[in-house]
């Protein structure tokens, strides 16, 4: 028996909360390591003759775009096959697990 769409949707603002979570996790897993490496080697920007707009585009591309990309893919997947209870702890932990693995691998010193 098909479920009603209203039963599948989460609480109001759940999509923005998910975006905030993804923004925080991609900031730890992607943006922080990339910005740390580029901050330690500013000669990259000098060799490429990067101006202020290029550096700002890099910062926005590294901080905002990964979170938005994952959020859009997640929203499209939820539209195609909605989950019965998007707020359940098991589903939230399963979604966040790969991000934490990336955080742990990114900060591990070899």
Q: Is residue 54 part of a domain?
A: yes
- Is 91 part of a structural domain of the chain? yes
Q: What is the pLDDT of residue 43?
A: 84
Cα 31 from chain centroid (whole Å)? 10
Tell me if 32 is assigned to some domain.
Answer: yes
What is the number of domains present in the chain? 1
67 in a structural domain: yes
Q: Is residue 4 part of a domain?
A: no
Range of the domain at 52: 14-102
pLDDT per residue rounded down to tens, the chain (110 residues): 444 444 445 555 667 888 888 899 888 888 988 889 888 888 888 888 888 999 899 899 999 999 999 888 888 887 887 665 655 666 566 666 666 666 666 654 44
Predicted pLDDT of residue 79: 80
Rounded Cα distance, 103 and 28, in Å: 6
The pLDDT of residue 64 is 92
The Cα angle at residue 22 between residues 94 and 26, in degrees rounded to 5: 105
Q: Is residue 22 part of a domain?
A: yes
For the question of whether the overall pTM of this predicted structure is more than 0.85, the answer is no
């Amino acid at each position: 028996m098909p479920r009603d769409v209203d039963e599948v949707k989460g609480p109001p603002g759940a999509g923005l909360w998910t975006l905030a979570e993804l923004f925080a996790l991609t900031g730890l897993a992607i943006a922080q390591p990339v910005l740390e490496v580029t901050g330690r080697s500013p000669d990259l920007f000098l060799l490429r003759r990067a101006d202020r707009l290029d550096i700002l585009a890099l910062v926005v591309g590294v901080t905002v775009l990964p979170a938005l990309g994952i959020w859009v893919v997640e929203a499209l997947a939820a539209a195609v096959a909605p989950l019965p209870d998007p707020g359940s702890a098991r589903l939230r932990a399963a979604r966040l697990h790969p991000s934490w693995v990336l955080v742990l691998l990114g900060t591990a010193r070899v």
